[in-house]
């Protein structure tokens, strides 16, 4: 019986791979630096806060250049820190972005402030702040301790200094633009001065925090005093603002408020709820990188920053459920999405999406395999099948909407990774490409990095090493 099940389970995946094989090729120019945040290390603003879930400005310029258009409209429904949006407006394109994590909004507001601030006035304020004697601000310190995931994240003196710094800025810096930048500098160094380090699915805690259990200890190395870290960060920001102003600006003029004359319209929230109200046929290029189906929980990874922005424990939990389902804690949004479309008078949309999902044989094959392993106790988390099912459900809705908002001749360029569970690779690229074709798009190409993605140590230990495709998908809407 196991042999028969194994044979049946691989049939649909193999057929899908055979169908898309002509579109798949290795692209030597696609490096990890190009398709990740690492390519932005020398870009002002991008290096102030290291948002690791993004791609490089250079990659977006390549996507824009490949359209052959001098201008147009770009949409990024998973806008992150805004790399695609700001690069687009710098190239003369209009840009629309949607991002559920408030961190993206904080970065965008800091970019706006950096564009309009008087460099000399900013430097003067920086000098005053650095020379000031900061007093404690217990209310801010208590905020971190009210959220279990961030309690004890800083050395006690660091907590006092952070609170004192923010209290001083609030009371003594009257210019709101400068205050935004001073607060953002603190935002940028939270991880550096804490006992934590971002590590994929979670925050890794230094043994000095007292929160580590078990025998395996992690040491992140020297943790600088807050005053040292904030002084260094403010100098970087002041130097970048001064140098960029001499070159003509950090980026094109923009307005986060939107409107007819705005180059950039940024919306904070879930693209699942916002895309259905977006006009049809108005976008020339979608350039995006959605969360991967890899169990990464960004509300935990960026917990320090979320608390800094005023999120308490309940708000973080609500935000986690709003994210695209890529963690084992996400609940199914099927009924919620059906109601959303029904309220808009669009009940035919979920009916169509559910049909596409049910008829995607490779996906159903994967889900059957995962469920079989769950029942057999071979998954390290019993909710993995639910997460994978929900991920593709939600991505199917997203792709339907992206196909709808594209103009004829428009294209979608998506960066994503395949994943592996219970020793089986899930061909995310092929399943999503099949969704795209069901909704009227053509798969022009699936470009893969010369070096694929590795596996977790647990996967390699149990099932051996298998390189996974990491790639960029090109889907085009017929017409023109």
Annotated domain spans of the chain: 2-100+270-290+330-455, 101-212+223-259+297-327
pLDDT for the residue numbered 42: 59
pLDDT for the residue numbered 213: 65
How far apart, in whole angstroms, are the C-alpha atoms of residue 274 and residue 106? 20
Q: pTM of this prediction?
A: 0.89
Cβ proximity of 457 and 34 under 8 Å: no
> Which backbone phi and psi does 431 adopt, to 5 degrees?
-65, -45
pLDDT for the residue numbered 6: 44
pLDDT for the residue numbered 417: 92
Residues of the chain with pLDDT under 50: 1-9, 39-40, 251-262, 457, 459-461
């Amino acid at each position: 019986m196991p042999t028969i099940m194994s044979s049946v389970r691989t049939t649909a995946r193999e057929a899908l791979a055979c169908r898309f094989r002509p579109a798949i090729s290795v692209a030597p120019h696609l490096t990890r630096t190009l398709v990740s945040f690492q390519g932005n290390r020398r870009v002002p603003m991008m290096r102030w806060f290291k948002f690791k879930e993004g791609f490089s400005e250079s990659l977006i310029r390549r996507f824009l250049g490949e359209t052959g258009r001098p201008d147009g409209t770009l949409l990024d429904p998973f806008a992150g820190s805004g790399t695609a949006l700001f690069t687009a407006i710098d190239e003369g394109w209009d840009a629309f972005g949607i991002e559920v994590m408030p961190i993206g909004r904080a970065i965008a507001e800091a970019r706006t402030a950096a564009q309009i601030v008087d460099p000399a006035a900013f430097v003067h304020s920086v000098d005053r702040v650095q020379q000031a004697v900061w007093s404690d601000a217990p209310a801010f310190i208590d905020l971190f301790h009210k959220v279990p995931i961030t309690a004890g994240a800083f050395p006690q003196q660091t907590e006092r200094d952070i609170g004192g710094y923010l209290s001083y800025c609030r009371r003594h810096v009257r210019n709101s633009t400068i205050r935004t930048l001073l607060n953002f500098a603190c935002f940028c160094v939270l991880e550096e001065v804490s006992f934590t380090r971002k590590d994929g699915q979670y925050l890794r805690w230094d043994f000095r925090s007292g929160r580590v259990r078990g025998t395996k200890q992690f040491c992140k190395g020297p943790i600088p005093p807050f005053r040292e870290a904030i002084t260094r960060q403010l100098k970087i920001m002041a130097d970048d603002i001064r140098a960029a102003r001499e070159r003509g600006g950090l980026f094109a003029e923009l307005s986060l408020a939107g409107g007819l004359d705005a180059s950039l319209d940024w919306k904070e929230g879930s693209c699942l709820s916002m895309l259905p109200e977006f006009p049809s046929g108005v976008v020339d290029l979608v350039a995006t990188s959605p969360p991967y189906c890899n169990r990464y929980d960004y509300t935990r990874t960026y917990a320090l920053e979320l608390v800094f922005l005023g999120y308490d424990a309940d708000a973080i939990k609500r935000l986690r459920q709003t994210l695209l389902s890529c963690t084992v804690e996400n609940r199914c949004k099927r009924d919620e999405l059906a109601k959303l479309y029904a309220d808009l008078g669009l009940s035919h949309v979920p009916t169509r999406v559910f049909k596409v999902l049910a008829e995607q044989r490779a996906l159903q094959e994967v889900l059957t395999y995962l469920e079989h392993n769950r029942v057999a106790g071979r998954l390290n988390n019993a909710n993995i099948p639910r997460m994978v099912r929900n991920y593709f459900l939600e991505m199917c809705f997203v792709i339907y909407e992206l196909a709808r908002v594209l103009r004829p001749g428009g294209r979608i360029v998506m960066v994503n990774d395949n994943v592996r569970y219970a020793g089986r690779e899930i061909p995310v690229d092929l399943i999503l490409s099949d969704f795209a074709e069901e909704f009227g798009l053509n798969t022009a190409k699936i470009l893969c990095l010369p070096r694929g993605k590795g596996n977790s140590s647990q996967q390699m230990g149990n099932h051996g090493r298998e390189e996974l495709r990491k790639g960029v998908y090109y889907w085009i809407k017929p017409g023109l």
